[in-house]
Structure 1
Amino acid sequence: MYRALTRNIEVVVEPFYLEEQSDPEDSRYVWGYRIAITNQSDLTVKLINRYWNITDQNGVVDEVSGPGVVGEQPVLSPGDTYEYSSGCPLDTPSGLMFGHYEMEADNGEVFEVKIPAFSLDSPGLLRTLN
């Protein structure tokens, strides 16, 4: 699991390989990921937008942004946790994702919450640390 804490908003990511949706012979590799966002602050916050940087093992970058997550713009009161699952296809057997959420506090302040970088590695793939 991967974790990041920004302004007492915790983001936890758990990626997993989706073998049944992947087809390595056709250069199609698919991962799912579960995300839990926990509001440990004293403010109520609303997730307005998301930004993702998805980089495959060849260094090809795909940037994705838009309103909310999985069609929702959740509101988290202090102590609330919001969880969702989504997925990501790549043309290579490994990659990396990171990003941020744009949040709006109930006092009108808008700020970014970091999504930790996490690796997407096919099972059995030999990892090389740089």
Structure 2
Amino acid sequence: MVTAITQGVKISVDTVYQEEYSNPEKEHFMFAYQISVENLSDYSIQLMRRQWFIFDSNGTQREVEGEGVVGIQPVIEPGESYSYVSGCNLTTDMGSMSGNYLMHRTADESDFTVDIPEFQLIVPYRLN
């Protein structure tokens, strides 16, 4: 698990290779990741947007962005957290993801960016 704290928001990421949804012969490797967003600040925050940078080990890079996460824009109160699971497919058995969230602080109506730490997507047999 990797973790980063930016402006009082802690992001933790855990990944799992999805063998049953992968097809290595067709260069399709599926990974699931769980993200926890913990509000360590004294203010309510809302996750407005996400931006992902996805890298395959063959040099392919993709950028994905959009509103919220898994179809919602969660409000996270001080001391609370929000977790969700999503997925990413690669064309190689190794890669990585990183990115950021655009957050909205309701107390002063300000927006700020929170870093999503880089995490590795690696098929387990590559670790032997």
For normalisation by structure 1, the TM-score amounts to: 0.95
Structure 1: distance between partners of 2:25 and 2:98? 27
Structure 2: distance between partners of 1:86 and 1:21? 13
Structure 1: distance between partners of 2:81 and 2:104? 16
Correspondence 1:86 to 2:116: no
Q: Quote the residue 2:73 is aligned against.
A: 73
Q: Quote the residue 1:122 is aligned against.
A: 123
When the two chains are superposed, the root-mean-square deviation of aligned CA atoms in Å is 0.9
Amino acid at match of 2:114: V
SS of the residue corresponding to residue 124 of structure 1 reads helix
Structure 1 residue runs of 4+, over 4 Å off? Answer: none
Q: Quote the residue 1:95 is aligned against.
A: 95
Q: How does 1:1-130 map to 2 (within 5 A)?
A: 1-106=1-106, 107-126=108-127
Structure 2: distance between partners of 1:6 and 1:67? 20
How far off is 1:123 after superposition?
1.2
Amino acid at match of 2:117: P
Amino acid at match of 1:26: K
Identity percentage of aligned residues: 43
The aligned length equals 127
Structure 2: distance between partners of 1:126 and 1:37? 28
Stretches of structure 1 lacking an aligned partner (at least 5 in a row): none
SS of the residue corresponding to residue 32 of structure 1 reads strand
Amino acid at match of 1:113: V
How far off is 1:126 after superposition?
4.8
For normalisation by structure 2, the TM-score amounts to: 0.97
Structure 1: distance between partners of 2:58 and 2:82? 33
SS of the residue corresponding to residue 118 of structure 2 reads strand
Structure 1: distance between partners of 2:78 and 2:7? 12
Amino acid at match of 2:48: I
Deviation string, structure 1 residues 41-98 (Cα, Å, up to 9, x no partner): 0111000000000000012110000000000100011011000000000111110100
Amino acid at match of 2:85: S
